[in-house]
Structure 1
Amino acid sequence: MRATLMYEAGDVRVEEVPDPVIARPTDALVRITASCICGSDLWPYGSMSAADGPNRTGHEFIGLVEDTGSEVTTLRRGDLVVAPFAISDNTCTFCREGMHTSCGNIMAGFWDDLVEEGGQAEAIRVPLADGTLVKLPVAPDSALIPSLLTLADVFPTGYHAATAGGVNERTVVSVIGDGAVGLLAVLAAKLLGAEQIILMGRHQERTDLGRNFGATDVVSARGEEGIEAVRDITRGHGTHVVLECVGAMPAYEQALGVVRPGGVISRVGLPQYEQAPIGFGTLFRHNNRLTGGPAPVRAYIEKLMPAVLDGSVEPGRVFDATTGLGGVPAGYQAMADRERLKVLVKS
């Protein structure tokens, strides 16, 4: 079969690799019908050394179950499923508390860490299939597939940012980043009742979509100028909740600048730094709180799916390009060059 491999920064290839096989009785084999390129994939695409490659890529996909191990009980051949970006058993103490990204099962974890396969491929082996995969009540060619695919990562990640930050109808919210996660954090904040949502982004096509999702204000400036613009909008106060959806240090510093005293910074952008200021002069002085982390996507899929199925939300609008598997390398480059927001891959 064909699969995507990243050899080093800027070098992504689609090559023939061995077909996946059942390795454990809790596995399922899935033929991938739709996948995508994630903004977090761009970090290694911009920096990975040749010594660390090649690696299989992709952690968001929908597909058809082709085979299951002897202990899989909830899935059968032909089921259409969506996979969250973390593997979990959905039964352990942490999963029952909604922290699937901290699942205690020894076979749980992130795709990149546990499975030498990836979702940007024709097929994949899924460990802990009963806990990880969620069945979809549509056909593989449904018009809802793009929106249902966002349930694998970006929509629940934006929703996690908003819920972890405590967004409600009484909070003024700022969202840092106009990537797919940032835009869907806007949508999530709107769903949770926020009446004022300030989107900090500088790509007009993206911020226009953000307005459609619920942003009431857009600030295109960065750094101190951007911070001052948000404070002007909020009468000098800043916002109750800041959803940081980038992961770079300038984004975190911007969050510190726009958060209101007593407010919350909720980070879901994959941090590209190991240390961040949290001392007296930053968080401590004004009783600000820092929260967030990798979204326990599995905990949110079934909560968010009904709104996708009934068409009341359309998170799939973040996809602005579609390609086949052979077009994935060009898709990486287009996203890295900010020519595309998010690329959908149809197998």
Structure 2
Amino acid sequence: MKATILYGPGDIRYEGVNDPKIIHPTDAIIKLSATCICGSDLWPYRGLQPNEGPAHMGHEYCGVVVEVGSAVRTIRPGQFVVGSFCLSDNTCPHCKFGFQSSCEQREFMSGAQAPYARVALADGTLVATKELPGSDLIPHLLATSDVLGTGWYAADAADVKEGSTVAVVGDGAVGLMGVLATKEMGAERIIAMSRHKMRQDLAREFGATDIVVERGAEGIARVRELTRGVGADSVLECVGTQEAMSQALECARPGGTIGYVGVPHGVTFDGQALFFAQRRMLGGPAPVRRFLPDLMDRVLNGRIQPGKVFDLTLPIDQVAEGYKAMDQRRAIKTLLTV
């Protein structure tokens, strides 16, 4: 088969590789129904993250199981499944505590930008639907695999509650999913920080009540103005840069909570400033597996349509154009048809 390989900054290719095989008895092989490009894939694509040799790309996936290892018990061929980018056994102490992304056997998914993929720890990682979904649901179910699950975790980590005032830092796909998540959790005021009209419109569709176009000190001042000088109860940091983290901290009220899911690049903290700020912080790689059953049910019941975040759809053999479009901010998130 062919698969997406990153050779170096800007050098993404769709080329022949060996078909995936069962390696461990806990593995499964799935036939992808669709896959996509993640914002985090752009870090190595841009040369901002080390990449040792050719890397098989892709960690967001859904599809039909075609083969399982001898130790797999709950997943069977023919089922439609969605899985997390963090592969987990879902039985260790960390998994049972709801942090499958810190599983004692954790692996990170790769190689999903391809027609077929191997999923390790299949029983703990994959969640099956009762029946095969229609093609119209595939983009929405695919979104639950990472981008929605990550945005949802940002809101959960930020302790969003009924009636909360929330600020979302970052208007990429994860930030937009954070807006959707906070709306679903009952936030009363949702402030999306965005400079881009198309992203602003989507944020409003997902539930944003206010848009702040300013950044830095001006953006912080605007959030304070909207909250009558108090600050937000909850802030979602969905970028990973120093500017975004600083903005998130300053937008939160004393006693407020920051949920941070942007992979940090060059982020540092001033211990004394944190001490006197009196803000809570929780974040990291999202334990998507904790949320998957609920998120999939919301999609299947027609309650949410997170797949609207995909604003560019390409056949997988045009994956290089998908990376380029996202790198140049011509697309929020690219869906790849298989």
Shorter-chain TM range is: over 0.9
For the 8 Å contact 2:142–2:307, the answer to whether it is kept is yes
Of the structure 1 ranges 93-102 and 42-51, higher mean CA displacement relative to structure 2 is found in 42-51
Match 1:294 to one of 285, 299, 321: 285
Match 1:319 to one of 288, 302, 310: 310
Q: Which residue of 2 aligns with 1:114?
A: none
Distance 2:84 2:197 in 1: 30
Distance 2:120 2:13 in 1: 25
Q: Which residue of 2 aligns with 1:146?
A: 139
Is residue 337 from structure 1 mapped to residue 337 from structure 2 by the alignment? no
Q: Which residue of 1 aligns with 2:23?
A: 23
Q: CA RMSD in A?
A: 1.5
Which residue identity is paired with 2:321?
A
Which residue identity is paired with 2:293?
E
Q: Which residue of 1 aligns with 2:118?
A: 125
Distance 1:192 1:295, change over 3 A: same
For the 8 Å contact 1:8–1:48, the answer to whether it is kept is no
Q: For residue 156 of structure 1, give the secondary structure of its aligned residue in structure 2.
A: helix
CA positional deviation for 1:154: 0.9
Distance 1:60 1:137 in 2: 21
For the 8 Å contact 1:33–1:140, the answer to whether it is kept is no
Match 1:212 to one of 196, 202, 205: 205
What do the CA deviations read for 1:228-254 (whole angstroms, capped 9, x no partner)?
111111112211111000111110111
Which residue identity is paired with 1:29?
I
Distance 1:50 1:256 in 2: 28
Q: Which residue of 1 aligns with 2:272?
A: 280
Q: Where do 1:212-231 residues align within 5 Å?
A: 212-231=205-224
Count of equivalent residues: 338
Which residue identity is paired with 1:109?
E
For the 8 Å contact 2:44–2:50, the answer to whether it is kept is no
CA positional deviation for 1:142: 2.3
Distance 1:291 1:50, change over 3 A: closer
Q: Where do 1:1-347 residues align within 5 Å?
A: 1-47=1-47, 52-105=52-105, 108-111=106-109, 117-139=110-132, 141-273=134-266, 275-281=267-273, 283-347=274-338
Distance 2:213 2:245 in 1: 16
What do the CA deviations read for 1:159-189 (whole angstroms, capped 9, x no partner)?
1111111111242110001111101111111
Which residue identity is paired with 2:108?
F
Which residue identity is paired with 1:40?
S
What do the CA deviations read for 1:40-87 (whole angstroms, capped 9, x no partner)?
111111115896221010000112111111111112221111121011
For the 8 Å contact 1:34–1:62, the answer to whether it is kept is yes
Structure 2 portions without partners, runs of 5+ = none
Q: For residue 52 of structure 1, give the secondary structure of its aligned residue in structure 2.
A: coil
Distance 2:4 2:92 in 1: 32
Structure 1 portions without partners, runs of 5+ = 112-116
TM-score (norm 2): 0.96
Distance 1:299 1:41 in 2: 23
Distance 1:102 1:50, change over 3 A: closer
Distance 2:308 2:318 in 1: 20
